[in-house]
């Protein structure tokens, strides 16, 4: 393994341009190493130089995005660009503009970027498109621009290009898991910064599990008072380290705003009916046959919960109350309710749950699972939201409004898309970033998922017709937190695999060319270095 050494800007301009992939016209110029690869890029002669005299011209909502460009460039350049209404004679200008008519061709997230020697023009139908165009401008600059500290002696030049770009998929997601190891707000924000500069737009947050409940719910304060204290458990995390804590509702409002400013939607995951041990420890009446433990101290409840709630009417009402506060906090259209890995055998063997199955005229515990998910689906739909769940929610019948997240391979996603349901592809085979990146490394799961494997991910299975394929909203990489205690480790497990994943979700399907990607990724690591990202070093070519 090796890290590519930092190169001077001159060397970057010579070497930092990769051989161009076949769909990129270059007019004899080398092609900049942009990740994810833009749809169309024409490189021309000349460069645009950013200097303190450069003016940024933008009106209205475009001005909000323009300020983000100014903020992004200032730390490394050591000067803040000024906004102006017009380029004064002879001054170089960066012009950002919204043109709603572009939506027809480029969608809400696409953009058109033209760089000439005296001006940069960035246009998009909406603010998200401008934001993504800005991320491309950052990558066209020398990699040191990603530094949080002033970099001296760098010529801040952008090669002259014309780029037309838009994403292949609308759901370009990553998942983080503060339930297993709590993620402090500052680390959470840095994660959002890094994902948004790569053009990811969905962050699923696994707020609750048996190891911890991390989201303040006003109506049920014990969920965090007791449920966030994993140290009550005599069972430690599997890495033996304990990172506890929870987000107040004020923290959440701040994080939602922070992410939205970077065009990232936080998709909250409130896990049920399994992976609910922390909630049951806090409120034993949620569990199966837990009444006898209600008066016992919490530490005696851990390990007895089976991690599975009992779907009696009071439990359904409790969880709907929780979802009520969740939808007040999170504007996301999609709300994730988990739904995975429930051992419904515990219901089948419990007299109260057997009676519940009979009362509801259901055939078995699988149908009780489905009935339970439908109660959540009805509630969310009534409140204008959409339920998302892991592919086990297909068992016993899929709730009418449900979107399926396919993790046990692609079969669940295929079945759901064929039945007319939306799907997000998140298979363990390619998108589980808690798995190790090389045989000698640590990670969950038996498989090795390296960059090459991620880059071979195709979100649309060949089995789907073009009509069914429209239900595939996109894909997502999972960073389950059992073995990720801190930000350093999180970055090591996320990058560079997320760079490969985003290209499968943003760039056109063809041509997918591992060789040019590898070359571009090599240059991209200089940006990650400048940003201080603790990425996993790239494998040396030809070495296992």
The greatest distance separating any two alpha carbons of the chain, rounded to the nearest whole angstrom, comes to 83
Is the CB of residue 91 less than 8 Å from the CB of residue 55?
A: yes
In the complex, least distance from residue 421 CB atom to ligand ACM, rounded to whole angstroms = 17
In the complex, least distance from residue 283 CB atom to ligand ACM, rounded to whole angstroms = 23
The closest residue (CB) to ligand ACM is 340
Strand partners, 51: none
In the complex, least distance from residue 362 CB atom to ligand ACM, rounded to whole angstroms = 24
- Catalytic: which of 275, 369, 421, 471? 275
In the complex, least distance from residue 340 CB atom to ligand ACM, rounded to whole angstroms = 4
In the complex, least distance from residue 209 CB atom to ligand ACM, rounded to whole angstroms = 10
- How far, in Å, CA of 516 to CA of 24, rounded? 12
Strand partners, 16: none
Catalytic site residue 209? yes
Nearer to ligand ACM, 342 or 417 (CB): 342
Catalytic site residue 392? no
- How far, in Å, CA of 37 to CA of 321, rounded? 44
Catalytic site residue 341? yes
- How far, in Å, CA of 366 to CA of 518, rounded? 46
Is the CB of residue 162 less than 8 Å from the CB of residue 122?
A: no
- How far, in Å, CA of 524 to CA of 511, rounded? 20
Assigned token pair, 128: 């998200």
Nearer to ligand ACM, 171 or 517 (CB): 171
Is the CB of residue 307 less than 8 Å from the CB of residue 213?
A: no
Is the CB of residue 478 less than 8 Å from the CB of residue 431?
A: yes
CA angle 100, 198, 267 (to 5 degrees): 80
In the complex, least distance from residue 366 CB atom to ligand ACM, rounded to whole angstroms = 17
Assigned token pair, 221: 């304060």
Nearer to ligand ACM, 106 or 376 (CB): 376
Interface with ligand ACM (CB under 6 A): 340-341, 390, 407
DSSP at 425: E
Nearer to ligand ACM, 220 or 433 (CB): 433
Nearer to ligand ACM, 230 or 342 (CB): 342
- Catalytic: which of 99, 187, 225, 341? 341
- How far, in Å, CA of 233 to CA of 304, rounded? 11
Nearer to ligand ACM, 271 or 325 (CB): 271
Catalytic residues, by residue number, are 209, 275, 341
């Amino acid at each position: 393994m090796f890290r590519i050494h930092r190169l001077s800007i001159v060397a970057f301009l010579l070497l930092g341009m990769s051989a161009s992939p076949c769909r990129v016209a270059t007019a004899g110029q080398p092609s900049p190493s942009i990740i994810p690869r833009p749809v169309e890029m024409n490189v021309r002669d000349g460069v645009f130089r950013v200097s303190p005299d450069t003016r940024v011209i933008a009106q209205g909502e475009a001005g909000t995005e323009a300020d983000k460009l100014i903020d992004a460039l200032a730390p490394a350049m050591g000067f803040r660009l000024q906004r102006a209404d017009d380029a004064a004679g002879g001054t170089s200008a960066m012009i950002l503009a919204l043109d709603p008519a572009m939506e027809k061709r480029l969608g809400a997230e696409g953009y058109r970027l033209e760089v000439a020697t005296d001006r940069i023009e960035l246009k998009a139908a909406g603010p998200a498109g401008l934001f993504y165009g800005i991320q491309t401008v950052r990558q066209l600059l020398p990699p040191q621009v990603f530094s949080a500290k002033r970099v001296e002696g760098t010529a801040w030049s952008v090669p002259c290009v014309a780029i037309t770009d838009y994403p292949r998929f609308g759901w370009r997601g990553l998942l983080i898991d503060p339930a297993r190891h709590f993620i402090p707000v500052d680390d959470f924000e840095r994660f959002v910064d890094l994902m948004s500069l790569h053009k990811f737009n969905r962050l699923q947050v696994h707020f609750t599990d048996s190891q911890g409940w991390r989201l303040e719910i006003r109506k049920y304060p014990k969920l965090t008072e007791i449920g966030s204290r994993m140290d009550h458990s005599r069972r430690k995390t599997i890495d033996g380290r304990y990172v506890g804590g929870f987000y107040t509702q004020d923290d959440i409002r701040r994080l939602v705003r922070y992410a939205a400013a970077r065009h990232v939607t936080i998709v909250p995951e409130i896990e049920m009916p399994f992976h609910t041990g922390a909630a049951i420890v806090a409120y034993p009446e949620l569990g199966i046959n837990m009444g006898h433990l209600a008066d016992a101290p919490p530490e005696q409840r851990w390990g007895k919960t089976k991690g599975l709630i009992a779907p009696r009417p009071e439990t359904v009402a409790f969880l709907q109350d929780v979802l009520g506060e969740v939808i007040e906090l999170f504007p996301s259209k999609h709300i994730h309710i988990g739904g995975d890995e429930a051992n419904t055998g515990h219901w089948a063997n419990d007299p109260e749950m057997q009676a519940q199955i009979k009362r509801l005229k259901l055939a078995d515990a699988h149908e009780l699972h489905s009935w339970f998910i439908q109660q959540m689906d009805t509630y969310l739909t009534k409140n204008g939201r959409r339920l998302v769940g892991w592919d086990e929610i297909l068992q016993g019948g899929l709730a009418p409004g449900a979107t399926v997240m396919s993790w046990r391979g692609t079969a669940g996603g295929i079945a759901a898309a064929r039945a007319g349901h939306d799907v997000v592809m998140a298979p363990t085979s390619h998108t589980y970033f808690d798995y190790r990146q090389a045989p000698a490394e640590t990670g969950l799961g038996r498989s090795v998922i390296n960059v090459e494997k991620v880059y071979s991910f195709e979100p649309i299975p060949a089995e789907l017709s073009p009509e069914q394929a429209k239900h595939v909203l996109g894909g997502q990489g999972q960073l389950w937190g059992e073995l990720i205690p801190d930000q350093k480790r999180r970055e090591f497990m996320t990058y560079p695999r997320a760079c490969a994943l985003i290209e499968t979700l943003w760039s056109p399907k063809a041509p997918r060319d591992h060789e040019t990607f590898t070359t571009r990724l090599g240059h991209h690591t200089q940006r990650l270095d400048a940003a201080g990202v603790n990425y996993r070093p790239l494998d040396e070519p030809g070495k296992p």
